Amino acid sequence: MQTQFIFFSGKGGVGKTSMACTHAVRYADEGKRTLIVTTDPASNLADVFEQEIGHQITPIVSVPNLFAMEIDPDIATREYIDRAMAPIRAAFPPQIVQVMEEQMSGPCTAEVAAFDRFTDFLDAPSQNGHTFDVVIFDTAPTGHTIRLLELPAEWSQSIDAASQGSGQTCIGPAAAIQDAKHKYERALAAMRQSVRTQFIFVLQPEAISIKETRRAIEELSKLGIRNFRLIINGIIPPDGSQNPLFAARAEMQARYLEQIEREFEYPKQQMTLLADEIRGTVKLRQVGKIFFDGETLTPYSALPVEERTRVRVASSLDDVRARLFPNGHRRTLFFAGKGGVGKTVASCMTAVWLARQGHKTLLLTTDPAAHLGDVLDTPVSDTVTPVIGQPNLWAVKIDPKAAAEAYKARILADARQRGRPESAIKVMEEELNSPCTEEIAAFDQFIEYASQDEWDVVVFDTAPTGHTLRLLELPVDWSKQIDMKVFVSVDTAAADDVAKARFGKVIRMMTDPAQSTFAFVMYPESTPILEAWRAAKELVTVGVQPGLVVANMVIPLEQATTPFVRSRRAMQEKYLVEIGKRFGVPLVQIPLLPREVKGLKMLIELGEQVYGKVAASEASIEASLQ
C-alpha cells in the first residue's frame, strides 16, 4: 500500500491544527502508522498533544501508531547549509567557503530549508527506520503555504538560471543543489496524484475565510493539484444559539453555509463549535466521535455551568491610550499574533480611532493574504491612498511581487550608477531573480514607509506570528551583515550605505517604547496565548518589548445567559486573568459581536467601545460616513 498524504490548509485561526490532530489520532487508532508534521513556523502541535515534540519524529505517548514532528526553521537551515556546502568545503579554500556561506544567510534560506525537510516526507515516506501509512501535513496559514507550495517550480527555474550563469544562488551553489531540484519536482508530482494526496481546507462560515479558501484552491489548481475537501468548522450548536448574541451569529453562519454549498462543489463536512478547548488526546478522541461518528456529545459537558463569581479584567483607558498616541514622536503600532486571531480588525479599528483623534495615520500590511480592504470595505492598493469617508487616514497594501520588481530595479540602477561592470550586474541580477527577493523587497518597502516623517502614526497590520518575527528580525540581521549579503559576490563597496542608515533608524524606532508599540492580539484561549508569549519572548532578544495585549472575541458579561455561553465565558475569564499576569502590560478587550466587523461605521462604533469616545461632534461623525 502506498503512503497516503493529507494536507490541512486554510486561513489562520480556523482550527486547522485541531482538525489535523483529530484525523491523526483517528487513523492511528484504526491501526494505521501515522505521522503528523507541521511546516508552520509558529507551530502548536506540542500544545495540542500536551507533550514535547520538536524537530524530530516523536512518538505521541498516549496514542500507539502516532508520531509527530515540528520542523524547526533554524535547525532545518543549519542542516540544509551543511548538506549544500559539504562538497564545496572539500574543493575550495576556506575564504571562498565563508563567502558562499554568508550568501546563504539571507532570509529565504530558512524558508527553503523548511520546505526541503518537508519534501523529504513526500519523496521518501520511510524516515529514520519509520514507515508510515498516512502522513498528515498541518500547514502554515494559506498565503504563506501557497508560497511554499509554489517553490518547487520557482526553485527549479532559479537553479537552472544559476547553472547557466555564475553557478551560485542565494540558497547555495547550483551544482550542490541539483539533487534538490529533482526532489522538488518529485514532491510536486506526488502532490498532483489524487489517489495518494488530498488537500483538506478548514474554514469557518465567514466572508474572509470563504474568500481565502477560494483563492487557495485557485492557486493550487494552477499547480495541477485537484483533490480537495472542505471542513466547515465552528458551527454554533442549536442549544448554543438560545442567546441573542449567538442566535445572531448563527443566522450569519446560515447565510454563509448556503454560500459555501453553492460555490464549492467539493465534499464537505461540518464541525460543531465546542464550549471548551481541544487539547489532549482524550479531547481529540471526543472530537473524533462528534466529527466522524456523528455522536451528539453535549459540547459543554466537561465545563461547570453553575453561577460563579465573574471577573472583570480591564486596564485603564489612560494606560492604553498612552501606548497609542504619538506624544511628540511619530508612533508606529505593530499588531502581531497567531494567524486569524483578529489582527486586521484590531489594526483597522485602532487606525480609524486615531485618525478621528486628528492624527495623520497610515495603515499598512505586508500580509500576503491582506484583508485590510475587506475590513475597511474599501479597495486598498499598493499605492498609498486616502480612505474615503475618514479624514486623516491612508492605507496601503505592500504587494510582494510588485515590491520585488521595484527593489530589483533600484538595486541594479544603483550598481550601474556606481560604475559596476556588466558582468557584475549580471551576477547581481541572477541573485535578485531568486524567489526570496519578494520577502526582502516587501520588508524593504515597509522600511521606506516607516522612514517617512509625514505620518503621526503608522499602524502595521502584520503577517502571522512566525513569519512576522522573521520579517522583524531582518533589519537587525541586515545592519550587522549587509556588506556580506546581496552584494558580496560583486564588491562590498557596492553595499547600500543609504539602506544601512534607514535600517539603523528603523531599529532605533522599533526598540524605543516612546516611538513604537507592539500589540499582541489573541483569543482568550491557551494556544493563541502561548503562541503570542513565544513571539514576545523572541522579540525581546532583539530589544523589542511588548507594549499592549489585545484579547479578541471576548463574550460580553451580560451575554453569559445560557449554559453553553456561560461555559465559554468561564473559559475566557480564566485566560483573561492569565494574559494579564503573563504579559504584565495594558490589556485591551474587543467584544464578540453579532456579525463580522466590516466598514467604517462599524469600526468607528467598535473603536469608541474599546478606546472611548473621541472628541468629534455628532455632525462630524455623520459627515465622515457620507
What is the DSSP code (8-state) at residue 229? E
Statement to judge: residues 417 and 455 lie in one domain: yes
| CA–CA separation, 625 and 457 (whole Å) | 22
What is the DSSP code (8-state) at residue 323? T
- CATH number of the domain where residue 13 is located: 3.40.50.300
Q: Which of 293, 325, 358 is the last residue of a domain?
A: 293
In sequence order, what E strands does 411-483 have?
457-461
Q: Residue 297 corresponds to which cell in the numbers above? A: 456529545
Statement to judge: residues 243 and 142 lie in one domain: yes
Q: What is the pLDDT of residue 412?
A: 82
Residue 144 included in any domain: yes
Most confident of 14-28, 128-142, 465-479, 603-617: 14-28
Mean pLDDT across 482-487: 40
Residue 304 included in any domain: no
Domain total for the chain? 2
On the question of pLDDT at 156 being above 80, the answer is no
Statement to judge: residues 14 and 91 lie in one domain: yes
Residue 615 included in any domain: yes
Residue 310 included in any domain: no
On the question of pLDDT at 282 being above 90, the answer is yes
Residue 309 included in any domain: no
Residues in the chain: 626
- What number of other Cβ atoms are within 10 A of residue 40's Cβ? 27
Statement to judge: residues 280 and 340 lie in one domain: no
Q: Which of 48-52, 210-214, 503-507 has the lowest mean pLDDT?
A: 503-507
Statement to judge: residues 224 and 331 lie in one domain: no
Residue 359 included in any domain: yes
Stronger pLDDT, 531 or 427, i.e. the higher one: 531
* Contact indicator for 575, 547 with CB cutoff of 8 Å: no
Residue 298 included in any domain: no
What is the sign, positive or negative, of the torsion defined by CA atoms of 451, 535, 43, 590? negative
Secondary structure (DSSP) of 252-276: HHHHHHHHHHHH--S-EEEEEPPSS
| CA–CA separation, 533 and 537 (whole Å) | 6
Residue 311 included in any domain: no
Q: Which of 243, 259, 293 is the last residue of a domain?
A: 293
Statement to judge: residues 231 and 339 lie in one domain: no
Beta partners for 432? Answer: none
Statement to judge: residues 394 and 535 lie in one domain: yes
Q: Output the pTM of the full model.
A: 0.79
Statement to judge: residues 263 and 328 lie in one domain: no
Backbone phi, psi, residue 478, to 5°: -65, -40
Statement to judge: residues 470 and 568 lie in one domain: yes
On the question of pLDDT at 212 being above 70, the answer is yes
Q: What is the pLDDT of residue 85?
A: 74
Q: Which of 56-60, 241-245, 433-437, 615-619 has the lowest mean pLDDT?
A: 615-619
Stronger pLDDT, 449 or 502, i.e. the higher one: 449
Q: What is the pLDDT of residue 404?
A: 82
On the question of pLDDT at 222 being above 50, the answer is yes
Statement to judge: residues 54 and 160 lie in one domain: yes
Secondary structure (DSSP) of 369-438: T--HHHHHTS---SS-EE-TT-TTEEEEE--HHHHHHHHHHHHHHHHHHTT--HHHHHHHHHHHTSTTHH
Task: Please name the residue that has the C-alpha cell 480611532.
Answer: 353
Residue 234, domain extent? 4-293
Q: What is the pLDDT of residue 303?
A: 44
On the question of pLDDT at 488 being above 50, the answer is no
Statement to judge: residues 259 and 375 lie in one domain: no
Question: Mind spelling out the 3-state secondary structure of 68-109?
Answer: EEECCHHHHHHHHHHHHHHHHHHHCCHHHHHHHHHHCCCCHH
- What number of other Cβ atoms are within 10 A of residue 131's Cβ? 11
Quick: pLDDT tens for 71-82: 887 788 788 777
Statement to judge: residues 279 and 325 lie in one domain: no
| CA–CA separation, 257 and 542 (whole Å) | 44
Q: Which of 226, 261, 293 is the last residue of a domain?
A: 293
Q: What is the pLDDT of residue 562?
A: 87
Q: What is the pLDDT of residue 624?
A: 44
On the question of pLDDT at 304 being above 50, the answer is no
